[in-house]
Amino acid sequence: MQKAEKLYSDIPPTKLRNRKEKMRRAQNRPFWTWLADRIMFRYVRHRFYALRIKNLEVFQKHRDERFPSILYAPHNNWWDGMIGYYLMRKAFKVKTRMMIEELNRFPLFSLIGAFPVNKASAQEAMKALVYIANDLIKDPTLGFWIFPQGIVRPPNYRPIEFQTGLVYVAQKVAKELGGVNLVPVAVNYTFLREDRPECLAEVGEPIIITADNCNFDRHELTKKLQQDFEKLCDEQLSTFSKGEVTGYEYVFRQDLPWNRKLEKKLKNIDIQTPEQ
Buried-exposed string 72-106: b where 16+ CB fall within 10 A, e elsewhere: bbbbbeebbbebbbbbbbebbebbbbbbbbbbbee
Q: In the chain, helix, strand, coil percent, each to 5?
A: 40, 20, 40
Reduce the secondary structure of 140-170 to three states and give it as a string. CCEEEEECCCCCCCCCCCCCCCCCCHHHHHH
Rounded to an integer, the average pLDDT of 213-228 is 93
Q: Give the containing element (helix H, strand E) for 249.
A: strand 248-253
Cβ(104)–Cβ(98) under 8 Å? Answer: no
Is it the case that residue 249 has pLDDT exceeding 90? yes
Confidence at residue 209, expressed as pLDDT on a 0 to 100 scale: 96
pLDDT tens for residues 35-64?
999 999 999 999 999 999 999 999 999 999
Q: How many angstroms separate the CA atoms of 174 and 140, rounded?
A: 11
What are the residues facing 144 on neighbouring strands?
70, 97
Confidence at residue 123, expressed as pLDDT on a 0 to 100 scale: 86
User: Per mean pLDDT, which range of 133-137, 189-193, 227-231 is the poorest?
Assistant: 189-193
Higher pLDDT, 45 or 194: 45
Is it the case that residue 66 has pLDDT exceeding 80? yes
Cβ(139)–Cβ(95) under 8 Å? Answer: yes
Is it the case that residue 275 has pLDDT exceeding 90? no
Confidence at residue 273, expressed as pLDDT on a 0 to 100 scale: 53
The dihedral through the CA atoms of 152, 131, 70, 113 has a sign that is negative
Is it the case that residue 147 has pLDDT exceeding 70? yes
What's the pTM value of the predicted model, to 2 decimals? 0.89
Confidence at residue 29, expressed as pLDDT on a 0 to 100 scale: 95
Confidence at residue 185, expressed as pLDDT on a 0 to 100 scale: 98
pLDDT tens for residues 95-121?
999 998 878 788 899 999 999 998 888
Is it the case that residue 16 has pLDDT exceeding 80? no
Which domains does the chain possess?
A: 24-266 (3.40.1130)
Give one DSSP letter per residue of 47-101, joined into a string. H-SEEEEE-HHHHHHHS-TTS-EEEE----STTHHHHHHHHIIIII--EEEEEEE
Confidence at residue 276, expressed as pLDDT on a 0 to 100 scale: 46
Cβ(190)–Cβ(210) under 8 Å? Answer: no
pLDDT tens for residues 115-124?
999 888 888 8
Percentage of the chain lying above the pLDDT 90 cut: 71
Q: How many angstroms separate the CA atoms of 147 and 163, rounded?
A: 9
Confidence at residue 75, expressed as pLDDT on a 0 to 100 scale: 95
Confidence at residue 257, expressed as pLDDT on a 0 to 100 scale: 65
CA angle (243 as vertex; 241, 249 as ends), nearest 5: 105
